[in-house]
Amino acid sequence: MILQAIEKYGAALCALDGAALADCFSSDGEWTEPVAPTVTGPEAVRGLFEGMAQGFASLTLTPTKIYATGPQDAAFTWVGQAVMKDGRTVN
């Protein structure tokens, strides 16, 4: 179940789909990004991601390690690459 949730999360990010990403979060779910403030809840996640994604042409992510942090909780590390609309590549 955790692996399926991570796959759904990654697919939403790579599709640049804020609604699908928001669907991955419960009302008290937190999204922490190193380049933005932590937000709580689906609508806050969607708003933050859609704002960030405006500059992306594409995004790829590959999970590298999954950490089970509770019966229904997990964290994971990943490697990724974003291609920005101006052509720059960010790893």
What gap in Å lies between CA 13 and CA 18, rounded to an integer? 8
Provide mean pLDDT across the span 23-29: 95
- 72 pLDDT exceeds 80? no
**What CATH number is associated with residue 8?**
3.10.450.50
Count how many domains the chain has: 1
Provide mean pLDDT across the span 10-23: 97
- 65 pLDDT exceeds 80? yes
pTM for the full predicted model: 0.84
Least confidently predicted of 4-8, 13-17, 49-53, 86-90 = 4-8
* Confidence at 50, pLDDT banded by 50, 70, 90: very high
Label each residue of the chain as H, E or C: CHHHHHHHHHHHHHCCCHHHHHCCCCCCCEEEECCEEEEECHHHHHHHHHHHHCCEEEEEEEEEEEEEEECCEEEEEEEEEEEECCCCEEC
Domain that holds residue 56: 2-90
